[in-house]
Homo-oligomer: A and B are copies of this chain.
């Protein structure tokens, strides 16, 4: 096969199986280029494997993608950052959870980059491959958020509970889905001023304000009132 600028095994340890290298390479390609954008040629190249190896090991581009998603999930589940939030008091846990998700969204976590990237892509446009991912990675993460909000406001009905959860997730995802647009709208400088710390606090405060803790949980409402976003008053 012709390939003028071919690189042989850029990151392949010989001990690592071809299948594993393909999985890793595919993860990087899919996460950075999307499903359609990625080509199995490029994936095989990056993995230092033959073009046909992809079809040999996975049969299909789509099947490869499925396996990549599952692989990502396996690597991620044991280290889910939201796990830290479960033992905390709900308000604090919420803060941790939001900060963790926002961190992923803003690309603050260099290591395991493509796994998170892949998950975010699956959030925005789920494929047939993502059922497992939703069930085993996103679902638990979402369930954790749901529990914390329910702990803060046990009286919420399902519909409102979901709406609050989606409000949290929506605000976080926005900076990925529409980050480029947002940067255009307010200028790059103003957009960069919205760093992780600030945004996490803003979103958390907003949600807590919305959950309304003046009456139900006055002790926490005081601490909330000190936030710079001006949630306090009255």
Residues of A within 8 A of B (CB): 1-4, 6, 36-37, 55-59, 63, 122-126, 130-131, 134, 138-139, 142, 153, 155-160, 162-164, 166-167, 169-175, 177-178, 180-182, 184-186, 190-191, 193-194, 198-199, 202-203, 205-207, 209-216, 218, 221, 225, 228-234
Contact = CB atoms under 8 A, between A and B. Distances in A.
Nearest to A191: B162
Given A2-B2, A157-B230, A170-B172, 10 more contacts: A2-B3, A122-B181, A134-B181, A134-B185, A159-B193, A159-B194, A164-B202, A205-B210, A206-B209, A218-B234
17 contacts: A2-B6, A2-B56, A2-B58, A2-B63, A36-B37, A123-B181, A124-B124, A126-B184, A153-B230, A155-B230, A157-B230, A159-B198, A166-B174, A173-B174, A212-B225, A213-B233, A213-B234
B180 A177 contact: no
**3 A-B pairs with the lowest CB-CB distances in the bound complex, closest first:** A170-B174, A214-B233, A212-B232
A163 B2 contact: no
A149 to B, nearest CB: 12
A57 B1 CA distance: 5
Tell which of A4, A162, A166 has the most Cβ of chain B within 10 Å: A166
A74 B211 CA distance: 41
Contacts of A193: 158-159
| Copies of this chain, count | 4
Contacts of A155: 230, 234
A166 B199 CA distance: 10
